[in-house]
Amino acid sequence: PSRRLLIDSHMGCVCPSRISPCCTDSVADGSDGEMTTGEMEASFLNKFSRQNAALGADVTMKMTKMRALVIGCSGVAVETVKNLVLQGLGGVTLVDQKPAQIKDLGVNFFLSEADVGKPLAPTLVPKFKELNPFCDIRAADALTPELLSQHGVLLICEDMPLAELVKWNDLCRNAQPKAIAFAFARTGGVFGSVFVDFGPGHIVSDPNGQPPMLRLVESIETGTEALVRVTVPDGQAPGSLPEGSYVEFSDVKGCEGIATHQEPSPTGEMVTAWKVITKPSDPVNTVRIGDTTGFPPHISGGLMTEKRVGTPYPFKSLSEALKEPGMPFDTMVGTDMINFGSEWQVHLALHAALAVESERGAPLAGEADLPAVIEKAKELLSSKQSALDVDVDDALFAKFVRHFSVPLQPFCAFLGGIVAQEIVKMAGKFTPIPGFLHLNAVESLPDEVPSDCEPRGTRYDNLAAVYGHGFVEKLSNLKHFMVGCGALGCEFLKNYALNGVCCGPQGLLTVTDADRIELSNLTRQFLFREHNVGQPKSKAASEMARVMNPGMKVKALEMFVGTKTEDTFDDNFWMNLDGVCNALDNMEARFYVDDQCVKYEKALLESGTMGPAGNVDPIVPFKTQTYRDGGQADEGGGIPMCTLRNFPHLPDHCIEWARDQFELLFVKSVRQAKKFAEDPTAFISERETSTDDTQAIFEVRGLLSLLKAAEARTLQSAGQVAFDYFHLLFRDKIVDLTTAFPEDARVIDADTKQDKGAFWSGHKRFPTAATFDASKETHWKYQVATTALFAAMLGVVPPKKDGDDSYLKEWRSQKWCAEQVKGLTVPEYVAGGVNTEGDDAAGGGGKTDSKATLRALLKQLEGFSGKPLPALEEADFEKDDDMNFHIDFITRCSNLRADNYQISNSDFQKVKLVAGRIVPAIATTTAAVCGLVMLELFKLVLGKPVEAFRTRQVGLAVNTYTSFEAQGPKAFRSGVEKKAPKPEELPPEAFDANGGVKPEYILSEAYAAYPDPHSIWDKLKVPSGAMTLGQFKEWLSSEHKLQLKTWGFVLGWKRTEDDAGKEMRVPYSAQVYPPPVIIDAKLLPSLEDGQGDAMKKIMTSTTIPQPQKMQYLSAWQKAKQTGVMPSAATDAVTMDMTLKDILVMMEAKADKAMADGILWPKFGKAISGLAGRKFWVIPADQTPSCNTMPTDGSDPVDVRYMARVEIPLSA
């Protein structure tokens, strides 16, 4: 079937026809079949899934009805239009008949040398259409009122007389029946400005895009200002509702009518909600909602949900905002926390420059016009045409005017993201810029104005005008490594190509990404087109980058970066780099690359986005902290296991549980079946000794069902497994729970026997078991999806292929399911018990004793011993294929669970976002962040000091653009740790009058750092890997005055869990120093000796070293038990072994520990791939333990912080 969307050419609407009545015309494509409305909608939502996670599907749909009129095809304009077209804007009209110039190729990614001399707008139209063929893109000759009236947005990206700007702004504000959004954007040099005006009547429906706050209702008072007591649901972040918020209620027992109460919103519209009131004296976790005296009393329960309502957000006109822009970080967007007030200086400079250009009727000529602009600025201040109370900053004005007409590509990219996001805000989502935004990056300018700035007729003339041609050459010959080629990677490749990075004779960009292009990538990864779907990201993107700049030297690889690919990304590779640019989407890979950059002392450009938020972190060797030093990203609160197992109370709990069931049914069940087939006795024995009978019963019942189906693999048997699991999950487990804890169950204190109240209260909802009903949509869709997945597992049907949107199409109906279940058997209920571990009210770790049931099931399982097991195919979870039944199963499973507990159901798209762990992503944030990263690259090439680098946090939703000087690396220093003994260990006189411990009783413990001070970038470099362990010890002593105490070499990590069940890794080590004792069997007594005689011989021996005698005795005792004398050790370290040989031995030990299952595969080995390496670095947290060796007679001090140790491996 075709993947067509319907288009209304006038409105530029791009949406499935059921969603928008304007979509009435179909487009013939010659295909044999037609997509149904539902299929078109699913395809549309799939493509925009990441964007919808950030903006919401409603905003995406509103965008399809927007049409923007763009005046000027500058770098800012093309970046803005690119982002809007990617995000599904309905239509764009471009107005710019100026001929393209060669220097435009440095800021306009769609232009080639063949386009020079052609009119910009008509040239760009077909190229923009490649990004989104459903966006109606046109060119027009000139801006007229008639043309304006056909659009909802006017964006001006070229300079025009100030009076003209004001005129068009006023026309937009006064348009009828609704104001036309107006935006003005420009950049010159390292300055950028945006002005936004949506008119006096704009409404913001959601100021920040954060998920609405959810709270469980404990009680609702009856009163005129009723106090509502609430608790925080599991998995939700704590916090308070802001004053003036609105909330709505659901699932409340009692208070009939409270859920339908209406109040006027700030816009005057009546909304079904309550306005929140707060009083300083109110206790925590409470809100006041108004008069509830007209409602019956609250009985129990309920859910309180924050409700977003429309709020008026009137704008100033351009003339008003030019005069009074507001206060930075208050009524004006603040962007410079380091030089507060610089926004005012840039605003005044822009006002003055535009005024001078307007008076002259010609653009500024550069630095020669500085006196005129300064004079005009002072005139604006003195005449009160500007209400700013500032003195003109001559130095900043000089930098502003010098490059006023020179666009820099990084600023074009940054502003293109900002302006596009502002246009999206027309839909009411997020807080618009309240007038002007000004950003400067004067810290990225050369310290002196370069002497080689004159144009040379190249694509880099704009860049050279600011930085000089010598700088352009340095950029071109860089050797960089780009890790990742998704949304960030595409933007970086475009930015690199336009700025000539890695485009010189010595330059090379290596880019790697193991992923392939998916449909959902196309809304934000603009180097990809629909024909690229399925291709490697790195290769497709690299080809597009070479189209933008044929001189680009790029090598595309299709692999991950990690320990398993260190044979490719080896020492030579890293050492030959000039820097690294991360374009990753996970913390594990980020930390690995960060560690490599520290190891090889390479600069790292780190950045990331999450919906409308983004960050920039430049990492510079020896100048800044590392990425890891910045700490783990906040991963949010988890949901307790007891909640997921037995006591869900939110839809998200049901979704997370259903996601786990997918793994259990379609992945783990296959592995268990194979494990049973390989060794039935061991499998059964393991279950017999299980400490969790409840889980063991569940797993064995599921396995029995699957093994029965595997004996006769048919559609019917696959359906029976699905049917069995329906009753196991949604009937039997619920019956188990309600049998253990009936509806009237009470909580009795185990010690005092005191009745603490009803068990089913607070978070706990009393569930009801399900009865299968093929007429209910959730039931039949569960049965269809689960049958399909088990059928594919059993080989009854072929697995789904990519792009096959008709897969098992005939199954997807209620009628098909009803016919299928006629032949299925309702399984008998088997009591399974309840696991209440983690729930104190339920008795802590109490589990129902179900040993008899488990033994009976295992007896049935024995009947399958020795039977052949056919090939079973695990499901490989794929969230982005809506037709593979994966998300469909989780949706139905989640909603069946929700029905058990009377929780609201979730739709397919929400389940896809939650279960698929889909990270919100939008093109606008990506563009803005990547533009800022390029400025940090420029500083690296210029060799700027640490004070010039900026760590930035951007929030396009609420206009936060904060920047800080990059932090220097953390310094490790020697010191003294103060420790107070336990109070019970101190005499009464140790305490002062306030109960504190007196200073003389405080213990002091000195510790050392070596070198003192040092940072993570520092290393102790061993002269040679041929140095023996003994020589290494002597080198530490003589060269560094350090005494080697112990050295346990970390081979890798074992897995364990903390008290909360959170996964932890524990290092697993092999002893290097002191060398382990090597038992010489010739020195051991005869095995015919008795215990006493053997001990006497060992203890009186003059050949066995005294410290080793107990080890010799232990070795003899073991030999006595086994009857075998110990053999000579071949894998023990000795003092005369070289450091290189020790490392080789440690690698072999790590390999063996991994093969033996001691090391956890997820954490990997700490040493690998020594062959071919030039050196090995022992991390700071794994260095040998040492003491200082003072020369002044003072006591040795333990070295708590030691720099990394580098051991050469090559000659």
CB 80 within 8 A of CB 422: no
User: Quick check: bond before 1208 cis, omega within 30?
Assistant: no
Q: Which residues contact 268 (CB under 8 A, 6 or more apart)?
A: none
891: enclosing H helix or E strand: helix 886-900
Calpha distance 863→679 (Å, rounded): 13
DSSP 110: T
C-alpha torsion angle, residues 209, 211, 213, 214 (rounded to 10) = 160
Q: Which residues contact 795 (CB under 8 A, 6 or more apart)?
A: 713, 870, 871, 872, 873
To the query of whether residue 642 is one of the catalytic residues in this protein, the response is yes
With CA atoms as reference, report the closest residue to 121 among 93, 156, 89, 82. Answer: 93
| CA distance to 84, 403, 405, 453, 466, per residue, from 366 (Å) | 32, 6, 7, 13, 12
* Structure token digits, residue 1076: 């382990």
DSSP 259: G
User: Quick check: bond before 1013 cis, omega within 30?
Assistant: yes
DSSP 870-885: ---------TT-TTSS
| CA distance to 159, 458, 461, 501, 1154, per residue, from 455 (Å) | 22, 7, 5, 19, 61
6: enclosing H helix or E strand: strand 6-8
Q: Which residue has the tokens 């013939």?
A: 28
* Structure token digits, residue 474: 């340095």
Other C-beta atoms lying within 10 Å of the C-beta of residue 628 = 16
Q: Which residue has the tokens 């104005």?
A: 449
CB 526 within 8 A of CB 82: yes
Calpha distance 718→786 (Å, rounded): 8
- Helix, strand, coil percent values for the chain (each to nearest 5): 40, 20, 45
DSSP 1088: T
As beta bridge partners, residue 302 has none
DSSP 921: B
With CA atoms as reference, report the closest residue to 467 among 548, 418, 410, 506. Answer: 410
Could you give the angle at which helices 651-663 and 886-900 cross, rounded to 10 degrees? 130
CB 1088 within 8 A of CB 1119: no
DSSP 667: I
Catalytic residue among 255, 503, 642, 930: 642
Calpha distance 352→347 (Å, rounded): 9
Which residues in 21-65 belong to E strands, given as ranges? none
Q: Which residues contact 418 (CB under 8 A, 6 or more apart)?
A: 185, 194, 433, 437, 924, 928, 956
- Pairing relationship of beta strands 262-264 and 960-965 according to DSSP bridges: unpaired
* Structure token digits, residue 1138: 């070289």
Catalytic center residues: 642
